[in-house]
Amino acid sequence: MRFEKRHVFAIAVSALTLTWTAVAAADSPRLKGSYGFTGAATCLVAPGYAGNPSGPPIPNPTPGVLLPNAGFQADLRPNDVVTGATASFSYSFGVEGIRTFNGDGTGTVKGTAVSLTVRPTPGPGGYPHFPPAASSADFSFSFNYVVNPDGSWIGTMVPGSYAETFLTGPRTGETANVDAIPPITGLISQDGKTLIGAQTTTTVETHSYSNGDVEPQICDRSRVFIRLDDGDHDRDDGH
């Protein structure tokens, strides 16, 4: 059987196309490099309560330990309701920072958050008690991540790596940590230059402060990321 030149050429092109497609399929999306991000979050805090809401303010009776009735019920409602008052409150914050993907499934995050706590707030009697306020803080943590063949990605904080230092507001000079921020699930643009991410479930976190306050909270977070480098070299993220 003879093949004309045009048939041979068509077969060669077809084989090349199939080979390229197979390689492209095997080369799943990869994240490496530094991405700037902004985003917003809101947290519902259920710190528990001690003392009498109609009595005088008191200091934290159990520094470093959860207060009575701290946390959430099975239906995720705060269980810190007391007669005539509730100690649960909410705060919101915006963030800006840099998330660095090392290319091997590990990475780091550094950023700054500015938060607002508005009425109603706990008090004026018993503990906790505080008025509305604003604050800002620097934070950092390490994370692990996976990239899926469909172009989605999941980042999970390394437990114990979160560190926070307050710059302004009532807690100026204090430090804090969070036991585990829930995983963030996101999508990658076709060119890899833009990412989005958000929490997709409700998880109770424990926010512990250097003054002894320990506060369970449930937060929602969303982020948008833009690539700051070409992903092929290291970047100094200090700022």
pLDDT digits (tens, 9 = 90+) for 170-182: 999 999 999 989 9
How far is Cα 81 from Cα 66, in angstroms, rounded to an integer?
Answer: 15
How far is Cα 209 from Cα 1, in angstroms, rounded to an integer?
Answer: 82
pLDDT digits (tens, 9 = 90+) for 95-153: 999 999 999 999 999 999 999 999 999 988 899 999 999 999 999 999 999 999 998 99
Q: Which domain holds residue 192?
A: 31-227
96 lies in some domain = yes
pLDDT at 24 over 60: no
String of b and e for 74-105 (b: at least 16 CB within 10 Å)? eeeebbbebeebbbbbbbebebebbbbbeeee
How far is Cα 45 from Cα 65, in angstroms, rounded to an integer?
Answer: 15
How far is Cα 33 from Cα 41, in angstroms, rounded to an integer?
Answer: 24
Two tokens, residue 100: 């660095």
pLDDT digits (tens, 9 = 90+) for 166-217: 999 999 999 999 998 999 999 999 999 999 999 999 999 999 999 999 999 9
Q: Is 26 helix (H, G, I), strand (E, B) or coil?
A: helix
95 lies in some domain = yes
Q: According to the model, what pLDDT value does residue 16 have?
A: 37
Confidence of residue 27 (pLDDT cuts 50, 70, 90): very low
Q: Which residues contact 25 (CB under 8 A, 6 or more apart)?
A: none
How far is Cα 44 from Cα 48, in angstroms, rounded to an integer?
Answer: 12
Could you tell me how far CA 236 lies from the centroid of its own chain?
A: 21
15 lies in some domain = no
Quick check: 106 and 45 in contact, CB under 8 A?
no
Average of pLDDT values for 15-41?
A: 62
23 lies in some domain = no
26 lies in some domain = no
146 lies in some domain = yes
68 lies in some domain = yes
The domain total for the chain is 1
148 lies in some domain = yes
pLDDT at 58 over 80: yes
